[in-house]
């Protein structure tokens, strides 16, 4: 398994491997915002130390090729507007994304998802690409469908929503057809 590219240039945004210098931007753009992290599998960051810990973990998992985390930055200004990435195990990739509410509804998540999927598909080790979405997260469901993912099935109590009092949540499972 080879690593994914550290930089993916798209039409309006760039996906760039996270660095420790991203901490403050990540924290203030989305990681500390409950309305953004509501559907995430990780807890809302309460301090910059939480974000710095995430970045240390992201560096380690990049090096062992188990996860690839990117900052999403506007091409014209370099401003961080979100994050995306994927986990990987034995050629099975699962993608995800998160964006600042200041850019919601502008197609950046779809552009990032399409770009990330193209990079994964180009990796000879890739055998399958999947994702899942809380059934209540309609905007994210639409992003996956616009990005070419196919909805497979609804699974009851698929994951624990740590930012929703630990509720067991239903999810839609998706796959990307090769």
Q: Determine which helix (DSSP H) or strand (DSSP E) holds 152, and give its type and residue range.
A: strand 150-161
Contacts of 107 (CB under 8 A, 6+ apart): none
Strand partners, 108: none
CA–CA dist 108, 157 (Å, integer): 29
Give the burial class of 95: count Cβ atoms within 10 A of its Cβ; 0-12 exposed, 13-18 middle, 19 or more buried: buried
pLDDT band at 1 (very low <50, low <70, confident <90, very high): confident
Q: Is the pLDDT of residue 175 over 90?
A: yes
Q: Is the pLDDT of residue 88 over 80?
A: yes
Output DSSP code: residue 164: T
The mean predicted confidence, pLDDT, of the chain is: 97
Q: Is the pLDDT of residue 109 over 90?
A: yes
Q: Dump pLDDT digits (tens) for 132-148.
A: 999 999 999 999 999 99
CATH class of 7-129: alpha beta
CA–CA dist 81, 83 (Å, integer): 7
Average pLDDT, stretch 104-111?
Answer: 98
Q: Dump pLDDT digits (tens) for 6-45.
A: 999 999 999 999 999 999 999 999 999 999 999 998 999 9
pTM (whole model) above 0.85: yes
Q: How confident is the model at residue 86, as a pLDDT?
A: 98
DSSP string of 66-130, one letter each residue: SEEEEEEEETTT--EEEEEEEEEETTEEEEEEEE-GGGTTSSHHHHHHHHHHHHHHTSTT--EEE
Contacts of 140 (CB under 8 A, 6+ apart): 39, 97, 109, 133, 134
Domain boundaries, the chain: 7-129
């Amino acid at each position: 398994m080879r690593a994914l590219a550290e930089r993916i240039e798209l039409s309006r945004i760039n996906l760039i491997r996270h660095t420790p210098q991203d901490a403050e931007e990540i924290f203030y753009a989305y990681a500390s915002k409950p309305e953004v992290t509501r559907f995430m599998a990780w807890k809302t960051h309460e301090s910059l130390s939480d974000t710095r810990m995430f970045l240390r973990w992201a560096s380690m998992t990049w090096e062992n090729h188990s996860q690839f985390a990117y900052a999403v930055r506007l091409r014209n200004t370099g401003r961080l507007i979100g994050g995306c990435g994927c986990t990987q195990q034995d050629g099975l990739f699962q993608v995800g994304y998160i964006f600042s509410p200041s850019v919601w509804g502008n197609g950046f998540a779809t552009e990032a998802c399409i770009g990330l999927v193209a990079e994964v598909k180009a990796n000879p080790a890739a055998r399958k690409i999947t994702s899942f979405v809380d059934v209540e997260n309609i905007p994210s469901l639409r992003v996956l469908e616009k990005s070419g993912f196919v909805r497979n099935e609804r699974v009851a109590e698929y994951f624990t929503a740590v930012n929703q009092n630990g509720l067991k949540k239903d999810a839609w499972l998706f796959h990307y057809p090769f």
